[in-house]
Structure 1
């Protein structure tokens, strides 16, 4: 009896490339609908592609086992007799997927390496994936030959447009299709995607208690009735949506108005978060099962834990306000899964929402590290937040958020960039808490907002003292006097700002070390407080 040849084990990565460009290439008009449909489509394409690859591996006698799938990527273990056979199998898969996705603005990059210990395999696969991104169409040279859709393609495209138009979804041209998809998802609670001639149907039960398809609806906004009257009064400013049906999406213009109603500042916030040092993290794990569990833990956090914050929690900037606002009426999760997320919403909701995500992530990573004792350091997040006008072009604010995140990564990671300034997460928490306390105190005591300029200028004094050798307590107390002028009302503010700085300077004297204070926090506190204390928008 002939012995079967020993097979080699390989790890395959399928990675949807061009995701950000695809998702954020939308017109501002109706962007809230288009963004969710596109991000949702990417996630489902990844899921279907993973299943299809497993089928193709099976038909090629290369047994495949899914290791992980989520966030637009998937990993599969498979067997092959040697590298040459593995290359032929994967090249055929590449060609099939290029054909299937040739009319889309994204594509799937396939990379694979032979398995060694898990950490080495992961690092090798990461390096190979980088190389493959530079030669995407090497196995599909016809990608560069001009073509037009064949009859079968045209039949499918015409069907999609005619179906959506006949359903009175408003999909009369290409730019409307993604808005129509979201309309159908909301209306019917299900949809299907077709790839390789196969349909995958998804319904509401597939997405219970996860953030994937969650959206902000008018039914969840507590002041919907009065705000609807406001939009009717100014309907020329809202030509497409001044009738607010319960199950309609809240749009970006409304997010700005919600913030203006609470704070006086009509802005929206845009944030992107990402896990730090992911390649290095998995590269240090030697056990395949532990790697799988950690991958699943990340995906569960970004889908389920963030959903819990979105769906159940509230936020407030004033302790005297007993009627808190819910995140789910003020936050639009564009995508969240794998190891990152992208959030849009009312600016005064986005800031505390990002803080809560980091707090929960820190708790979770402590638990994960108990399961991975070889991981000595914390698993951390970096983030970038920008504040913009609701009319800012989608492409532009996506690039701004990406740049802010990149700056956080370049400045040591485990950081957040806000106002184009780099903060630790501890500084960020102090920034939000102090600003809220200061704004409430100023409003309760009728302190003129011009006083905030003094706080901004005081940062220069703090900075000068911080750069000196030693500690000059005489000058420190003169700086305190500058803030309060011995006014009893202002003494509270001086204590609020001055005490943390004073303690840090004391520690510096005792420990012969630099003060552990980020002085950018002072002008930033003044800036947020200014945004919180403007004249508020009245709906009636």
Structure 2
């Protein structure tokens, strides 16, 4: 059975815990005293699961290590026992005097409750727990809350077990006649993710802070790398005595990092760029996973050994001896990328041996930090692993040079098969190379797709010879070189046997119910932010008749159902016509992984933290984008106004109608706090740039990046507390989120925040207050900004925002006077007059410290009521 068999045993060794908490134990009277004691009831139930729900052909090899991992009787039993121990390391007993041991089943503690971030930890009284629901993108399933009653916990465990059991039965039956173990293993891994991601691996006598899913998959990974010739009974016995101090090499932590991502996505011209953007971005996600799976196959490791793949990075667990193979694998990867991307993309691969001691006392985080250093060193030697004769090809002349017919107007490279394509019937033709055309097709397929299908083929990277005189290929040729084919499907394929192994992943929650496993097809869920704005028929017709929409853009309009060009997103903005470009990521993420868990850091906890963050950015952000699209839509026929260029790992990049982009940033930051159990040290910073639709994308990306850096450089003081980051830069001003605002747009405007003040000012103008109010406030704010800049330079505090201070000057009394005059001018409009008076009162009550926020809000509101909306 090889590595897959021992990995399956590691994956299922604790499944009996789910059964035990679902009261399954009362339904069995089976005893096996003749073959030894299982040690714990959950181990007996795990063995029961194997006997009843694992296909018959694999039961014998899996049963022993699963049932006897607490009281091993064979070498394989001892391997799973050690893997179990190393995966969990020291479970956190962090119980307080006022927290007695609880015997009834418990929920999983949010991983964020265990983190130290910004020198803060959540008090034990504020701990929050996951709601014991199958994984799906709904608030009641994802967001941590107070603990449920014991009766409700019992009920939810029974529901989880019932769903898992029925899916396990279907999987068993699919593999009843022979089956395929690697496919079964991956299906079971995906099944455990769906049902046990929220289930604690332990709770009696310890905090329930490690998920059964993450503990089980890391146990499986360790079992696979421990099942090697030199790991005999004597080796295992020596490790068992004191693994936390053992210098023996247990595993190899391998990491990969895709570099050149920003240039690859953003440095394309405006001509025909919009359709291919999403395809390029999605291809990078596919490439990351394809390379990770290629490394696994080259090292003969099962899928359980892939710890994480996303955000242009991957991590996996290998054998210590596999370090010697990484240079050859790196060379094979580089040949493929250099052949097809001409140096634009590079994957740096590095490995770090892990000793037994590295799994304990939080040292796994230190190991992760050392691995990152190795990866950075590999990136500095970009393509240095290639042979001299291969590197010499980089200096050969390529292409004809200046052949306009063969030059792609999207990426700028020459290709002999470049074609002229039209976006619309009256549009000018745009020359596009095969690679860019393929990216367009990929992006076009993605917007309609409900399933992603991976098909395994024979990799060609090992035997590939670098020949830069041959033209570069398309994305599917790159993936094929790594032995995979990716297909996006609108309709679920029939559950029929196939010749090659496949993985079929639902892109939405509903799609998962429409697919079934087969002997060669593993099924599961794929988190993906697939927010793509499409041009509706009604919207296209309205644009063709809109005198404000430029004639040139009307000629270039694509057909209905295609991706909206930037010009349409710009035109669809509320108020001034601009694109909003948003870049945003979690603050201090490296520190969270390296120091946040302290001595409690274990392989399982690190994997759990990684999964939790990716679940938010690769899953929940999609829901937020959908909600913002609905809430900010100006006309029923308008369609989406947000375009997800990238969302994964811990960051995102969106382009869209500028007003919708700002609301999305607010929603992402607002829900991150709730998702992170209210931890004040878990936060994100972002930058927003406003640009025209023809503005070069690479420059817009740089502008947004600089805005994000401005936010991350911010030092601020609020209520006497000094903080850094946790800010947003918008309209050239960086402010803490606390002052900028994170309230829902539908809520009552909060006059303490920029967001709330903006809604109040906009509402006042729309309900009768003169627009001159906004112009005067913006004018006064300009005076204040210049005075503040001069003062900060004299104080050496140009990066500070201090809520306890205000820069005094004539702009303050002039603002108060203007508000008073506006009250008099609107005395016939009682509600507006009262709100103006309330605004003036709020300014006075806060000792005029609201003035800066009021000025930014006035600029924001002025943009919203200008342009075509203000005519």
TM over 0.5, shorter chain: yes
Q: Matched residues in 2 for 1:38 and 1:460: separation?
A: 45
Cα pair distance change 1:326/1:301, threshold 3 Å: farther
Cα pair distance change 1:225/1:268, threshold 3 Å: same
Structural mapping, 1:456-535, within 5 Å: 456-457=779-780, 480-485=816-821, 487-488=823-824, 489=826, 492=834, 495=837, 497-505=839-847, 517=849, 520-535=852-867
Contact 1:459 1:520 in 2 (8 A): no
Contact 2:256 2:350 in 1 (8 A): yes
Give the alignment partner of residue 507 of structure 2, picking from 207, 214, 223: 207
Structural mapping, 1:110-509, within 5 Å: 110-115=349-354, 116=358, 117-142=363-388, 144-146=391-393, 172-174=432-434, 175-186=436-447, 193=476, 194-196=479-481, 198-204=483-489, 206-208=506-508, 210-219=527-536, 223-230=539-546, 235-241=551-557, 244-245=559-560, 247-259=561-573, 262-263=574-575, 265-284=576-595, 285=597, 286-314=601-629, 329-366=640-677, 377-411=680-714, 412-429=724-741, 430-449=753-772, 451-454=774-777, 456-457=779-780, 480-485=816-821, 487-488=823-824, 489=826, 492=834, 495=837, 497-505=839-847
Cα pair distance change 1:203/1:496, threshold 3 Å: farther
Q: Secondary structure at the match of 1:366?
A: coil
Bigger Cα Rg: 2
State the match for 1:373 in structure 2.
Answer: none
Q: How big is the shift at 1:230? A: 2.5
Contact 2:820 2:837 in 1 (8 A): no
State the match for 1:508 in structure 2.
Answer: none
- Per mean C-alpha deviation after superposition, the further-off stretch among 13-22 and 189-198 is 189-198
Q: How big is the shift at 1:467? A: 11
Q: How big is the shift at 1:504? A: 3.6
Q: Matched residues in 1 for 2:291 and 2:547: separation?
A: 44
Contact 1:100 1:195 in 2 (8 A): no
- Can you give the 5+ residue segments of structure 1 that lack an aligned partner in the other structure? 151-156, 370-376, 506-514
State how many pairs are aligned. 495
Higher relative contact order (CA 8 A, sep 6+): 1
- Per mean C-alpha deviation after superposition, the further-off stretch among 403-412 and 494-503 is 494-503
1:264-311 Cα shifts (integer Å, max 9, x gaps): x11110000111111110112212111111111111111211111222
Contact 1:421 1:520 in 2 (8 A): no
Cα pair distance change 1:99/1:523, threshold 3 Å: same
Q: Matched residues in 2 for 1:502 and 1:327: separation?
A: 42
Cα pair distance change 1:268/1:406, threshold 3 Å: same
Q: TM-score, normalised by structure 1?
A: 0.79
Q: How big is the shift at 1:468? A: 11
Cα pair distance change 1:414/1:185, threshold 3 Å: closer
State the match for 2:348 in structure 1.
Answer: 109
- Can you give the 5+ residue segments of structure 2 that lack an aligned partner in the other structure? 1-228, 236-247, 399-412, 455-475, 490-504, 510-526, 715-723, 742-752, 792-801, 827-831
State the match for 2:161 in structure 1.
Answer: none
Q: Is 1:69 aligned to residue 309 of structure 2?
A: yes
- Per mean C-alpha deviation after superposition, the further-off stretch among 494-503 and 399-408 is 494-503
Note the aligned Cα RMSD (angstroms).
Answer: 4.1
Contact 2:687 2:728 in 1 (8 A): yes
State the match for 2:167 in structure 1.
Answer: none
Q: TM-score, normalised by structure 2?
A: 0.51
Cα pair distance change 1:234/1:414, threshold 3 Å: closer
Contact 1:313 1:327 in 2 (8 A): no
Q: Secondary structure at the match of 1:145?
A: helix
Cα pair distance change 1:206/1:325, threshold 3 Å: same
1:84-130 Cα shifts (integer Å, max 9, x gaps): x62x2111111111011113121101122233222111222223323
Structural mapping, 1:29-108, within 5 Å: 29-58=271-300, 65-81=305-321, 86=323, 88-102=324-338, 103-104=340-341, 105-108=344-347
Cα pair distance change 1:329/1:186, threshold 3 Å: closer
Q: Matched residues in 1 for 2:806 and 2:860: separation?
A: 32
Q: Matched residues in 1 for 2:548 and 2:813: separation?
A: 55
Q: Matched residues in 2 for 1:422 and 1:18: separation?
A: 28
- Per mean C-alpha deviation after superposition, the further-off stretch among 281-290 and 174-183 is 174-183
Q: Matched residues in 1 for 2:533 and 2:803: separation?
A: 47
Q: Matched residues in 2 for 1:346 and 1:532: separation?
A: 12
Give the alignment partner of residue 24 of structure 1, picking from 266, 269, 286: 266
Contact 2:305 2:316 in 1 (8 A): yes
- Per mean C-alpha deviation after superposition, the further-off stretch among 124-133 and 168-177 is 168-177
Q: Matched residues in 1 for 2:688 and 2:855: separation?
A: 17
Cα pair distance change 1:380/1:531, threshold 3 Å: same
Q: Matched residues in 1 for 2:533 and 2:806: separation?
A: 53
Contact 1:282 1:291 in 2 (8 A): yes
